[in-house]
């Protein structure tokens, strides 16, 4: 008989998927070991008060995934070829981008053969995250989430809180209001920009005004703006914050700080049109390093976290079974544009 054979009648998760989740959970917990026989379709149907067709559909899905195999006349068995010492990890990122790929690649590489990682994208949508969690809760050893959303709501927090704290790891950003001993590897959006710009005062002081192009919408943490304002106020810099760059408003002595690469391109085009020398007439400071920023216009200065280290640190927390909240390094790369 399966452990905790409980099917939620009101759940949005199909009953066959709930059966799948329960069997996977029992296998991951070592209740059913590799090579062991699991209850038959008829036995599970009776235990769960489900139709035989529903259970058969669940078993067929498990067989397709290679988790179980069937032996004619004998029944269903946990697939002996499936590594018994691997942990199963559900990784949910907010979008597919250069920086997220760096995190994912580093995370998967650091886990190596110790884990099977399945990656999903919630695309800033609480509804998508809800569906992903509901369909997979109980099927994985760990749930790793990048909790960046357009509109982070109480519902978003509630769906993340459904994951047991000892199985939850947050990457890039922490979530206020969560309880329990969960794992975190994140940036400190409230202080990172301030601290790094202070470290660059000897370069920033030559500019009269700092213009921050901060995209409209809710894609980026508002704490970045708070950090930027605090720096400008404490060090007596004139500043402006806009979500749209205008070449008409650019002037000698400006330092432009920007998050999105599209805005970087617009500023570079404007400098070329106005025949302004970058790093002298006007300064450019961009968020998040990429290989092209290293060579573009002899080098674009950047404020950046270490995305590879973020992924590697997250993997180590899982492998070493550590429960910590770790601040990922954030630094300035000095290049001629500043």
- What is the per-residue pLDDT for 81? 47
- What is the per-residue pLDDT for 218? 65
Q: What is the pLDDT along the chain (338 residues), one digit of tens a residue?
A: 554 456 777 777 888 888 888 888 788 777 888 888 999 999 999 888 899 999 999 998 888 777 888 888 889 988 744 445 678 899 999 998 888 999 999 999 999 988 889 999 999 899 999 999 988 887 788 999 999 887 888 999 999 999 999 999 999 999 988 999 999 999 998 899 999 999 999 999 999 999 999 988 767 888 999 999 999 999 999 999 999 999 998 999 999 999 999 999 999 999 999 999 999 999 999 999 988 999 998 999 999 999 999 999 999 999 998 999 999 999 999 999 99
- Burial class of 257 by CB neighbour count within 10 A (0 to 12, 13 to 18, 19+): buried
Q: Which of 221, 185, 214, 204 lies closest to 310 in space, CA to CA?
A: 185
* pTM of structure: 0.73
- Burial class of 284 by CB neighbour count within 10 A (0 to 12, 13 to 18, 19+): buried
- What is the per-residue pLDDT for 132? 93
Buried b (16+ CB within 10 A) or exposed e, 143-165: bbbbbbbeebeeebeebbbebee
- Cα four-point dihedral sign 165, 190, 212, 261: negative
Report the Cα 316 to chain-centroid distance in Å.
16
Distance, in Å, from the CA atom of 284 to the CA atom of 298, rounded to the nearest integer, reads 12
- What is the per-residue pLDDT for 2? 55
Report the Cα 133 to chain-centroid distance in Å.
14
> Residue 330: in which H helix or E strand, if any?
strand 330-333
Give the start-to-end residue ranges of the domains of the chain: 15-78, 87-187+307-328, 192-305
On whether the CB atoms of residues 334 and 304 are closer than 8 A, the answer is no
Please say whether the structural domain 87-187+307-328 has been given the CATH code 3.40.50.2300: yes
β-pairing, 168-172 with 142-145? parallel
Distance, in Å, from the CA atom of 154 to the CA atom of 152, rounded to the nearest integer, reads 7
- What is the per-residue pLDDT for 13? 81
Helix pair 52-64, 15-28: axis angle to 10 deg: 50
192-305: CATH, from 3.30.830.10, 3.40.50.150, 3.30.2350.10, 3.40.50.2300: 3.40.50.2300
- What is the per-residue pLDDT for 6? 64
Angle, vertex CA 16, rays to CA 14 and CA 29, nearest 5? 110
Q: Which residues on adjacent β-strands are paired with residue 116?
A: 88
Q: Which residues on adjacent β-strands are paired with residue 168?
A: 143
Full 3-state SS string of 109-130: HHHHHHEEEEEEECCCCHHHHH
Report the Cα 210 to chain-centroid distance in Å.
30
- What is the per-residue pLDDT for 85? 61
Alpha helix segments (H runs only) across 137-260? 154-161, 192-199, 201-204, 223-234
Domains 87-187+307-328 and 192-305 share a fold: yes
Buried b (16+ CB within 10 A) or exposed e, 268-283: bebbeeeebebbeebb
Fold of 15-78: Arc Repressor Mutant, subunit A (1.10.10)
- What is the per-residue pLDDT for 110? 94
Q: Which of 269, 251, 260 lies closest to 97 in space, CA to CA?
A: 260
On whether the CB atoms of residues 286 and 301 are closer than 8 A, the answer is yes
């Amino acid at each position: 008989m399966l452990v905790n054979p409980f099917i939620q009648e009101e759940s949005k998760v199909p009953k066959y998927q709930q059966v799948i989740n329960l069997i996977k959970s029992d296998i991951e917990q070592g209740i059913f070991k590799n090579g062991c026989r699991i209850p038959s379709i008829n036995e599970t149907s009776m235990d769960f008060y489900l139709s035989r067709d529903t259970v058969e559909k669940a078993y067929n899905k498990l067989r397709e995934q290679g988790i179980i195999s069937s032996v004619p006349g004998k029944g269903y068995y946990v697939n002996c070829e499936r590594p018994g010492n691997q942990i199963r990890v559900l990784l949910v990122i907010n979008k597919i981008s250069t920086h997220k790929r760096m995190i994912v690649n580093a995370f998967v590489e650091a886990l190596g053969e110790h884990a099977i990682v399945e990656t999903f994208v919630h695309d800033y949508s609480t509804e998508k995250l809800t569906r992903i969690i509901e369909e997979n809760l109980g099927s994985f050893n760990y749930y790793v989430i990048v909790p960046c959303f357009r509109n982070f709501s109480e519902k978003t927090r509630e769906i993340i809180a459904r994951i047991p704290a000892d199985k939850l790891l947050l990457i890039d950003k922490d979530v206020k209001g969560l309880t329990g001993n969960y794992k975190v590897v994140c940036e400190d959006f409230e202080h990172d920009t301030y601290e790094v710009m202070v470290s660059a005062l000897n370069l920033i002081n030559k500019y009269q005004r700092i213009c921050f192009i901060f995209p409209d919408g809710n894609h980026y943490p508002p704490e970045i703006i708070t950090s930027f304002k605090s720096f400008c106020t404490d060090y007596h810099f004139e500043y402006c914050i806009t979500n749209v760059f205008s070449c008409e408003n650019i002037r000698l002595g400006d330092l432009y700080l920007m998050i999105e690469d599209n805005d970087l391109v617009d500023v570079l085009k404007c400098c070329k049109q106005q025949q302004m020398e970058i790093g002298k007439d006007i300064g450019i400071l961009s968020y998040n390093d990429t290989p092209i920023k290293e060579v573009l216009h002899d080098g674009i200065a950047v404020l950046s976290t270490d995305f590879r280290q973020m992924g590697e640190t997250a993997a180590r927390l899982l492998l070493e079974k550590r429960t910590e909240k770790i601040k990922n390094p954030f630094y300035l790369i000095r290049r001629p544009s500043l």
